[in-house]
Amino acid sequence: MFTNTIARPQGTLPLDLFAAIEDLKKELNAVILAHYYQDPDIQDIADFIGDSLQLARAAAQTNADVIVFAGVHFMAETAKILNPDKLVLLPDLDAGCSLADSCPPDQFAAFKAAHPDHLVISYINCTAEIKAMSDIICTSSNAVKIVQQIPADQQIIFAPDRNLGRYVMQQTGRDMVLWQGSCIVHETFSERKIVELKATHPQAEAIAHPECETSVLRHASYIGSTAALLNYCQKSPSQEFIVATEPGIIHQMQKLAPGKHFIPAPPESNCNCNECPFMRLNTLEKLYLSMKNRTPEIVMSEDIRLAALKPMQRMLEMSV
């Protein structure tokens, strides 16, 4: 961790944000949970960094009074579903998710009604309303394991990510009805550029998150959640990796596998669109201000929370 010195023009910001956040953590009895896609500074100040499943587990187990969620809205909502009596803060309330947005509750209710007798398994990257309409929640690290536990004659709706759904179908041999949602970040990776990179870096292993399209996944020697990718880089004898997921994770890869070389998989056009624009809305400054002002806070109706809690609990039971 380094000392972050911010000039005072904003007036309300202290000179040393890291120290000020540490003080607020003690004052509020707060825990900072951060996803691997957050800015390196936020990862460094967090008490716990993880993938969606690890963060949900950490939220379920914390004794803190305040949870500061350095991630996106559905993740902070998940923490609130598990902790109705705690104050859950999200540094920027606009930190949404294209995948969660691709599944509006009214349209999903109609989709469900059109497929009676189907069990609904929803990826955690969805709103509390969609969770409330689901039977079981899953994440990218336990989706295969959960689907494998469902009796073979039970029909399944899988929502909202069609790419993860397709990957789970391949891995399990199960047929599922897929909601056609996707993540703008994971759909941006260029198969052509990955093939070019593999040609110029013949020793590099391509690794990918299952939210990527099949055209990208077929070039990967390993596919897994962010935590699984991080673990794989440390264990693999390879020294170089082409990483097809949001490049925020490379901060941890460099820390945990020092000396290895990580190349972010590029998007087709010359943009930064392999960075999640929602995750990157959170900054150290906003994190500090959210703790200082105890806002923006995640709120939801108790009806939705209780309905969303059930499939969350099923997930936690089925993925021990």
Can you tell me which of 127, 139, 163, 290 binds ligand 13P, judged by CB under 6 A?
139
Closest CB to ligand 13P among 52 and 127? 52
State yes or no: residue 249 binds ligand SF4 (CB under 6 A): no
Beta strands of the chain (E only): which ranges? 30-35, 48-50, 66-70, 87-89, 119-123, 136-138, 156-159, 177-178, 205-208, 222-223, 240-244, 261-264
The first and second tokens of residue 29, run together, are 């009895």
Site for ligand SF4 in 58-87 (CB under 6 A): 72
d(CA 186, CA 274): 7
Contact string (CB under 6 A) for ligand SF4, positions 95-124, x = contact? --xxx-------------------------
Site for ligand SF4 in 267-306 (CB under 6 A): 276, 278-279
Closest CB to ligand 13P among 50 and 266? 50
d(CA 131, CA 39): 28
State yes or no: residue 161 binds ligand 13P (CB under 6 A): no
Site for ligand SF4 in 187-246 (CB under 6 A): 246
Closest CB to ligand 13P among 122 and 226? 226
User: Which CA distances in Å does 272 have to 186, 209, 246, 312, 314?
Assistant: 12, 18, 10, 33, 37
One-letter amino acid of 150: I
State yes or no: residue 78 binds ligand 13P (CB under 6 A): no
State yes or no: residue 51 binds ligand 13P (CB under 6 A): yes
Closest CB to ligand SF4 among 184 and 309? 184
State yes or no: residue 52 binds ligand 13P (CB under 6 A): yes
- Which residues, 6+ apart, have CB-to-CB distance to 317 below 8 Å? none
The first and second tokens of residue 159, run together, are 């929502």
Site for ligand 13P in 185-244 (CB under 6 A): 209, 211, 225-226
Closest CB to ligand SF4 among 97 and 156? 97
d(CA 164, CA 178): 10
162, 179 Cβ separation under 8 angstroms:
yes
Count of residues engaged in binding ligand 13P, rule: CB under 6 A: 11
- Which residues, 6+ apart, have CB-to-CB distance to 283 below 8 Å? 39, 42, 91, 92
Torsion of CA 190, 194, 200, 204, to 10 degrees: 150
State yes or no: residue 141 binds ligand 13P (CB under 6 A): yes
Site residues (vs ligand 13P, CB under 6 A): 51-52, 125, 139-141, 183, 209, 211, 225-226
Site residues (vs ligand SF4, CB under 6 A): 72, 97-99, 125, 183-186, 246, 276, 278-279
